[in-house]
Amino acid sequence: MSISMILALSDTHLTGPLEDSNVVFKWNEIPGIDNEKLKDFLIERFGANWIKGASIAKNGMVITISASGKSLSLTLNGGKTEVVIIFDGRTSKLKAISNGNLINIYDMNYYPKQLRSLVKTADLVLHAGDFGCQGAYDDLVRLCNDSQCELWAIQGNQATIIYKDGAGLSAQKAENWFGINIGLIHYAVNSHDLSYVLRETAKKAKDIEMENTGDVGADVLVFGHIHEPIIKWHKDGSDKMRLLVCPGPGSNKDTVIDDSHDCSPYPTVALLECHNGSISSAEIIAISWP
């Protein structure tokens, strides 16, 4: 991999989907007047332009969209509470809510369009903890799955997030990713003294061990908790330059933690460009939030 993009976020603190989680289509109107709504949604979701001219058929609880040897299915579960999309070996879910005789199908978005678009451009997404709720984690998993990018996520200091089979996310993660040693923690020290936070975070970056190689020391360490967007190159005692990144507040909730930090009044993320096994650029990006 020559050029790749890493998207980092933290402290989303979300408790429910966005208010613009609108009806994607009505199950009862497929096939029928909602065909184009469904097609447009699926093209946006999966980037599969062949869907535009595809045929749509429904057999009981399964909708099939097909064209030229390609196909996609949507299956409504027995309780009529969920729709499972299967496309190209990937699985995605929508929420179903009955309204009288109609069944409305929703895309329960926890993240706004700008952030979702950034996920689509990323090769690796890092989340340094504090999702706020399980749904926010599940939606990010789905986003990354749909975009075919890798996701590394850890626990924060708030709600426990379940990874799979009842197991929670780990407290930290550190691996070599295409030649770059990456560390992911929520915080190195619980303090409101920024200089102390950065000093201890730099120590953590120097000492953290890569799980897949055994190498010691991160080229980039992403952390959260303080809600202050930071990109800082740090030279340690061995003259090794290490990048410390705090993406800042990941949503429009709780953007300010206290007066000790230069907290952003709006949500932010960090975008890192990598070239031939090293970080070539890093920037903080403000996110428009409903």
pTM value? 0.82
- The domain boundary, picked from 106, 128, 150, lies at 106
For 43, half-sphere exposure in the C-beta direction (CA atoms, 13 angstrom radius) is 12
Q: Along the chain (290 residues), what's the average pLDDT of each consecutive run of 10 residues?
A: 89 78 89 96 87 96 95 95 88 86 88 92 96 88 91 90 81 96 95 90 96 96 94 85 93 57 82 94 91
For 236, half-sphere exposure in the C-beta direction (CA atoms, 13 angstrom radius) is 20
pLDDT of the residue at 27? 97
Same domain, 141 and 158: yes
Any long-range contacts for 2-5 (C-beta under 8 Å, 24+ apart)? 2/275, 2/276, 3/273, 3/274, 3/275, 4/123, 4/124, 4/178, 4/273, 4/274, 5/121, 5/122, 5/123, 5/124, 5/271, 5/272, 5/273, 5/274
Distance CA 122, CA 119 (A): 5
Distance CA 41, CA 233 (A): 41
In this structure, are residues 121 and 91 in contact, taking their beta carbons and an 8 Å threshold?
A: no
Distance CA 120, CA 106 (A): 21
pLDDT of the residue at 260? 56
pLDDT of the residue at 132? 86
pLDDT of the residue at 33? 97
SS3 202: helix
In this structure, are residues 68 and 50 in contact, taking their beta carbons and an 8 Å threshold?
A: yes
Same domain, 149 and 261: yes
| Domain membership of residue 241 as a residue range | 3-17+110-286
| Residues across the chain | 290
- Write the single-letter amino acid at 240: K
Distance CA 125, CA 68 (A): 33
Distance CA 97, CA 275 (A): 46
pLDDT of the residue at 218? 96
pLDDT of the residue at 108? 77
Same domain, 38 and 181: no
Same domain, 56 and 28: yes
pLDDT of the residue at 113? 87
For 206-248, what is the HEC assignment? HHCECCCCCCECCCEEECCCCCCCEEEEEECCCCCEEEEEECC
Same domain, 230 and 93: no
CA–CA distance from 163 to each of 12, 60, 172, 280 (Å)?
17, 33, 13, 31
- Write the single-letter amino acid at 106: Y
What's 262's domain CATH number? 3.60.21.10
Same domain, 97 and 199: no
- The domain boundary, picked from 78, 106, 134, lies at 106
